[in-house]
Structure formats: C-alpha cells, structure tokens
Structure 1
Amino acid sequence: MGVFLPVSSLWMGFHMLTENESWTVLLVLILIDWIKS
C-alpha cells in the first residue's frame, strides 16, 4: 500500500507529460512488474 501513492503520482506526472495513453499504460505495467520482483 505504501507504493501506491508514489506510483499514482508518477502515473499522473507521466500522463500529463506525454498525453499518450499507450505510453502511460506501458510505463505503469513496467513499474508494477518492477515492484513485484
């Protein structure tokens, strides 16, 4: 639960920077995979 806030804020930041859904989704998937490992 402790990583949810930084990840969501990162997601918002990247979403605003790129404004590209596919890039944002890919980035989130990579982040989730990295957190799990």
Structure 2
Amino acid sequence: MHRWHPLLKINTNDNLFLRQLTTQLNFFLNQVQVERF
C-alpha cells in the first residue's frame, strides 16, 4: 500500500481514479515538452 499525505485522505477506492488522472497529467506534460523542444 502506498503512503499518501495525511491531508489528501486518499482511500483505496480512489486509487484507480488517481492513477488515471496521473497518467493523463504525465501525458499532457510530455506533450507540452515535445512542443517546447
């Protein structure tokens, strides 16, 4: 089990959503970097 920051209070039900959100964010950041360079 991952250790989350106490203030986030992320439970196991949110892990999938969080993973998808993180993946989308990383993809977006990668796209921005590609456009930049």
TM-score scaled by structure 2? 0.48
Larger % of helix: which?
A: 1
Of structures 1 and 2, the one scoring higher in RCO (CA 8 A, sep 6+) is 1
Structure of higher CA gyration radius: 2
TM-score scaled by structure 1? 0.48
